[in-house]
Chains A and B, each alone.
Chain A
């Protein structure tokens, strides 16, 4: 499959990339890892007149803790999440997620920034970043701004990024004491998109009650979603088995899957219910250390 013809520019600085984007408007597309965009171009579902390749922009691929956040440069590859020690040690939800995305070769190129900017409800990072209550930094012609991930996914394959803006960084709040998280994903085979996926991040207070709890769902709604009723049910409560079961039931009720090759609606809801239970239990186990 051969993409439609396009022009190609490879800026070496963010500033240069921004002015190219400014100059060419919606004829241009940013190229990050290319593992969502290139397949779409090969199918001619995307036919940009110009690709602005971010792969030669220096200094956008870090993964490091800074000022109470894990800061991930937009061009950091999934592989970096797998292999950076602090991710494995302190951000198990993120580590779980990276391991479940695609396969090793894809993870060598696919970027975290592209995963969010693409805003595919089938992608795994949206649910995880919703659960973490992460935020993203974007730069555009009017300077830099920070957007809460919970306000980032605005519509089907649409984000809060303005035309001309580039996502530069993802910031995950560093988990405090008694925190834990987990990602559970059901896939037909390794490397497949989720039939359903559930991301949980929680923190317990000194009495073992849920101080904060975030639950994100993958591929069971047109827009990446939080299981808000399940979150509020658990908030400030003791996460008993009964509470976990009820939260899982609410998540299954609130999601909005469509029937497709991966299964009918009732099956997907049932899977959300089961995966929510498993993710909550694993997150609690990790929070209790």
Chain B
């Protein structure tokens, strides 16, 4: 079994490390780089606590091998604030009390960042659909939705683009079986 040398840019800093191919990205982030903001909740690809951005797209880092990130960019919750100023999504969670124990929060925020990038003015339904891969055992989600809406307002995004990618538009939801009455 061989070791692999990888170069991964995490939050703007380039790291070169020699790793086993079986090392999961989340362990690389937490244990090799000592960035413990990214959490491990379920370790079974379900809860979203381990969500990070890989080349800008939200992924569950417990279900990606670190070697797959070679030559690519990772953003973790530690990369959100800039120059000591909170990112609007962090400010939103603080202002709207979007967390209780805080365990799900880093993953929620990383997912919300991609959601708002694809759909800068999401409706409540679109937000709920957009964070459906993130579980929270504490809040009941209401304040998480408010926190994301706060960030959307603060970031002053354009009206929802019609094609919102995996933001999933209201039109999709309306024509969809999950909508009551469809």
Q: Which residues of A does B touch, CB under 8 Å?
A: 1-8, 10, 31, 34-35, 38-39, 41-42, 51, 53, 55, 79, 82-83, 85, 88, 92, 95-96, 99, 102-109, 182, 184-185, 190-191, 278, 282
Contacts and interface: CB of A to CB of B under 8 A. Distances in A.
Contacts of B67: 8, 10, 53
B102 interface: no
Contacts of A182: 177
Given A96-B176, A106-B45, A191 B63 contact: no
Contacts of B168: 82, 99
Nearest to A9: B21
B172 A99 contact: yes
B39 interface: no
A191 B20 contact: no
Given A5-B20, A191-B132, A104 B65 contact: no
Given A3-B22, A191-B132, A107 B63 contact: no
Interface stretch (B52-60, B91-99, B136-144, B149-157): B52-60
B163 interface: yes
Contact of B22 (A5, A39, A96, A190): A5
B145 to A, nearest CB: 15
Contacts of A92: 175
B48 interface: yes
Interface of B: 1-2, 4, 20-22, 24, 43-46, 48, 51, 57-60, 63-65, 67-68, 70, 111, 114-115, 130, 132-133, 163-166, 168, 172, 175-177
28 contacts: A1-B43, A1-B44, A3-B22, A4-B22, A5-B20, A7-B21, A8-B4, A41-B22, A51-B65, A53-B67, A55-B68, A79-B57, A82-B166, A82-B168, A82-B172, A95-B172, A99-B168, A99-B172, A103-B132, A104-B111, A105-B48, A106-B45, A106-B63, A107-B166, A108-B57, A185-B177, A190-B132, A191-B133
Contact of B59 (A42, A85, A108, A282): A108
B22 A34 contact: no
B21 A79 contact: no
B59 A105 contact: yes
A31 B67 CA distance: 12
Given A34-B64, A38-B64, A190-B132, A109 B166 contact: no
Nearest to B20: A5
Given A99-B168, A184-B177, A105 B133 contact: yes
B59 A6 contact: no
Given A34-B64, A83-B166, 14 more contacts: A1-B44, A3-B22, A8-B4, A38-B63, A38-B64, A83-B163, A88-B172, A96-B177, A103-B48, A104-B132, A182-B177, A190-B133, A191-B46, A282-B177
Nearest to A51: B21
A38 B65 contact: yes
A31 B65 CA distance: 11
Contacts of B177: 96, 182, 184-185, 278, 282
Contacts of B70: 10
